[in-house]
């Protein structure tokens, strides 16, 4: 794990050992800001407390926008994973 500011960056090997399996996957690859964030917000509103949502994004703005929104809205950012050609964000709905 690497710490960048207050955001934890987990690498693939660590995620596998975490055993995280998302309930929903949002493929926002190719969407531009604020598309991935808007799709995440919609998915969180439609999800039950405790559900895990994974977002795939190629938009560089998501690296800042998604973690900030998750913290501000009171949910849990489980991790951010660099998948090479996209970034995967994993979020747990807490309320």
pLDDT at 20: 77
Q: Which residues are catalytic?
A: 33
Mean pLDDT along residues 19-26: 86
DSSP track, the chain: -EEETTEEE--HHHHHHHT---SEEEE-TTPPTTHHHHHHHHHHHHSPTT-EEEEEE--TTHHHHHHHHHHHHT-EEEEEEE-SSSEEEEEE---
Q: For the whole model, what pTM was predicted?
A: 0.80
Q: What is the pLDDT of residues 23-66, one digit of tens each?
A: 999 999 998 888 899 999 999 999 999 999 999 999 999 999 99
Average the pLDDT over 56-77 and give the result.
Answer: 94
- The class level of CATH for 2-92 reads alpha beta
Q: Give residue 72's pLDDT.
A: 95
């Amino acid at each position: 794990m690497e710490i960048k500011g207050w955001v934890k960056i987990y690498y693939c090997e660590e995620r596998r050992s975490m055993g995280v399996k998302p309930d929903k996957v949002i493929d926002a690859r190719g969407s531009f800001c604020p598309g991935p964030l808007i799709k995440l917000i919609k998915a969180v509103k439609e999800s039950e407390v405790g559900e895990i949502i994974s977002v795939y994004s190629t938009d560089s703005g998501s690296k800042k926008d998604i973690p900030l929104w998750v913290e501000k809205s009171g949910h849990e950012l489980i991790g951010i994973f660099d998948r090479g050609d996209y970034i995967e964000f994993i979020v747990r709905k807490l309320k």
